[in-house]
Amino acid sequence: MKALFKFLAMVAFLVIGGGLLVYAASRSLDFVQTTLPANDQALGYFALLATSGGMIGWLLVFLYRADGIIQRGTALLMVLIDFLGEAALFTMDTLYRSGENGLVGQMTQDEIRMVILGMSALIAINIFATIVFELGRMEVLKEIAEGAARDLVMFKALARIEKDSETVADEMMEDIVNQWRGNFRSAFGSADKLGLGQYQTKPPTEPAAKPKIKFSLPSLIRRWKKPHTPITEPELVPVETRGNGHSPTPPEENPT
């Protein structure tokens, strides 16, 4: 008997909960479709994902998929937000249709505009919640924490390097300067390497070649016809004899 009542209780729960959800969803869908063109009425069903459909979906996520405080908190919060959105939307639709039937005063355009803006905000919150839920995974949180710790260590190391850079530079400067001196001396340590010990000298000039004498028949004839100056014999100077004339007397030297 107890098992029977338990089964009946389960059926009653499903009937009440499911029936009311269907009613609320139908009223929300009716209001959403009034804001859509006639050829886009099917898009109204997607809007239910931010109301009754979103409430059921986030509840299942909270029970079977959420891991960690961020995911569980996001899922539970969205269950409550979507429930409030569903309640507000089907209430506004009931008032809207009742006003058209003359049962209550009709809703003004400003009131309808506020409902539409609220519905848009509800859809935007659901989209943002899916992003937060994925970022709230433990693997992502672990990577974020490790990345933050790594960045902190890196920043401190860079600050320490910048602080000690002058000391390291002073310690290395002597070796660097000595190495530079040695390299500079090996490269420019002589006048020849600087270009100061080498001079370009002119090659020795060769003596001018003697002109070659060319002989031709006309020139030989002219030389043969040219009168020659006769060679005269030197004038003989008489030599005075001294005494018997056997030994010649040398001529007197010019006093000059």
Residue 35: which residues within 8 A CB-CB, separation 6 or more?
116
Number of H helices, E strands in the chain: 8, 2
Rounded CA-CA distance 121/81 in Å is 11
The share of the chain scoring above pLDDT 90, in percent, equals: 26
Task: For 217-229, write each residue's pLDDT tens digit.
Answer: 666 666 665 555 5
pLDDT at 131: 94
Task: For 100-119, write each residue's pLDDT tens digit.
Answer: 888 888 888 888 889 889 88
Task: For 120-160, write each residue's pLDDT tens digit.
Answer: 999 999 999 999 999 998 888 889 899 999 999 999 999 98
Burial of 55 (0-12, 13-18, 19+ CB in 10 A): buried
Give yes or no for a contact between 14 and 21, defined as CB atoms under 8 angstroms apart: no
pLDDT at 218: 63
Which tokens belong to 168? 């390291």
Task: For 163-211, write each residue's pLDDT tens digit.
Answer: 888 888 888 888 899 999 889 888 887 777 777 766 656 666 666 565 5
pLDDT at 128: 96
| pLDDT mean across residues, the chain | 81
Give yes or no for a contact between 51 and 78, defined as CB atoms under 8 angstroms apart: no
Strands (E), 62-191: none
Task: For 10-63, write each residue's pLDDT tens digit.
Answer: 899 889 988 988 998 998 888 888 888 888 888 888 888 889 899 999 999 999
pLDDT at 226: 58
Give yes or no for a contact between 58 and 79, defined as CB atoms under 8 angstroms apart: yes
Rounded CA-CA distance 248/49 in Å is 167
- What stretch of H or E contains 232? none
Nearest to 34 by CA among 129, 105, 113: 113
Q: Which residue has the tokens 């299942």?
A: 60
Asked whether residue 239 carries a pLDDT value surpassing 80, the answer given is no
pLDDT at 207: 61
- Section 245-251 average pLDDT: 50
pLDDT at 210: 59
